[in-house]
Structure 1
Amino acid sequence: MKRKLLVCSFLLTLALGFSMEANAEEPNEELSVEAYEASGAAEAGYSYEQYVNFINMPEMEETAVAPFTMRAGLSDQQSKVLSLLQQQLGKPYDWGGNGPDRFDCSGLVVYVFQNAVGIKMDRITYQQEVQGVEVGLDNLQVGDLVFFGPRGATYHVGVYIGNNQYIHASETSVITTDMQYYKPDFARRVLNTSGGEVTPTPPATGDKVAMHRFQNINTGEHFYTSSEAEKNQLAAAGWNYEGIGWYAPTSGNKVYRVYNPNSGDHHYTLSSSEKNYLVSIGWQDEGVGWYSDVNQGVALYRAYNPYVAVGSHHYTASQAEFQNLLASGWQNEGIAWYGR
């Protein structure tokens, strides 16, 4: 009898082991490309990498928070944002959700800031992360935006509400979370945080311009421009519009644009020496393309592909994209210039 029990125990253990191994090898269907495409994340402007990072966020239980009451020391803007934020608690998550009934994380920010204080926020997290001014995570105030992920490739955003907590549209619904459970990577401030009555004013946008990013699907070349006319012309010619690559200041250090009439390739550089050399061997000088931020706000990385004749250089504010290029054999040429 003892031998039979030992055999049964061994077989049961073996079966459980096989079962656990099989379960461990089962792919997470939620992280498949098909799930990404079906979720609406792509249509909302998020890359597959950002989608995966968001799905992989730990499941967070809602932190209890007292009903909103006017807090001493808050500015008028902070009070209005906090009040409207708390009215959204419990509403369901939806990729691309702009409210008022469903939200994704950046859609919640757009809705609350626009309707509470008249501040127009950009739609996607990696666009919002350059608005306002940088603040330290140890110096947060009510209404500050807290971001998750590397700069240029953030995948989530919340709004700080004090007491080490933030409100955000999680994977299921709008909830309050304590920062000790899931800490953001950096923060930005777009509100007037001085006490007393203030007139809601949008953050200044006249000192920066959106840099549009295109790709020629035939040659692989990427092209960057702040010109709406040039943007429309490229789109009409069949170039693939990839959205806003970064924001450039309207003054600062010059970034030169040159064109190779033989290959049809463009090149961009801060270096007047590099520009002059290229012009001396037949490239055409197309003047100043845009400016680099003298305060070195957002780094634009430069990578080089030695195996192609057209589109051999690529420029990106995304560290994740830059690292992927290096892993694919591109060469690291450092920081090309700075955006804002």
Structure 2
Amino acid sequence: MPKDDRLYGKFTLDFPDNYKILPLSDAAFRCLVEATLWSRKQMSDGLLARRYALAKWGADVLAELATNDPENPSLIEVEEGWMIRDFAEHQDTRAEIEARSARNKAAGQRGGLARAKRRAKQVASESLSESQAETETETETSTHVGKTTHVSNARKRESSSTFSDGTPIPEEPPAGPGENVVVGEIIPTEIGTAARPRAPRAEPAHKSTVRLVLGGADYPDATINQLAVQVAKLAGKHDAELIAEALREWDRRPPGTLPAYLPNVLGDVVKARRARPTTRKSTTDERMAAVQALKHQPAPEQRRLG
């Protein structure tokens, strides 16, 4: 039976009986299930875009899910829309899906390379067998004319080293090009694949940087890992202090801001830096021009007379 390759969402068996879920209206229960499956399919990591959510489920249903618990509601309203609480702890995130896809692709490439090498060896072996069979056929030919049987020169030389009149039989000349050639086994040297850039991956140093900059903030490991992936992507393009400032700014953003938005936050930090007023110092040429202007101004008495 072929493997089922459809996508799935994860729900615990006691999900409908949870104290926050059991009192929900039918519309709110359906909304939470549909929103979870939609986010998994779109790989939005739990974010429900505001316009889509309002059009799909309505403001009243969303408000019910955002108030079904005073401290831990099922939905958290953010600037972009609503976030499904603890989505990354129960469902596959975009980073996890992409990493799994990369591993599967690499494994498939290795399997294809091994099959290609085996096939090349098989073709070379078949070619060698065919060449050897053709050579044996060519060296064992004989002819019949009437009732007289003529034996090949090779067999005459085996029985005698001279002709009937005593003349020595000359040696067989060496094989010329194309005669009795044995084809050796052809072994491919290498079957290459196009080089693909490796996706940035979070190293322990990136995770340590996130924890250090956030000052030991009590974030779950999944959030730390996702932030570390973003830091790995930014590390080769921006200096460490700018990345650290972006992490601190991300920490100050409203709850529910996704780790994947760290590059956007960094862009906001850069814009804020550029918008800060700076005091430009006058250049040497500008100072000299000011002195010359003062020298050419008329005296106070001359200005009054003029």
Q: Do the two structures share a fold, i.e. TM-score over 0.5?
A: no
Larger strand share, 1 or 2: 1
TM-score by length of 1: 0.18
Larger Rg: 2
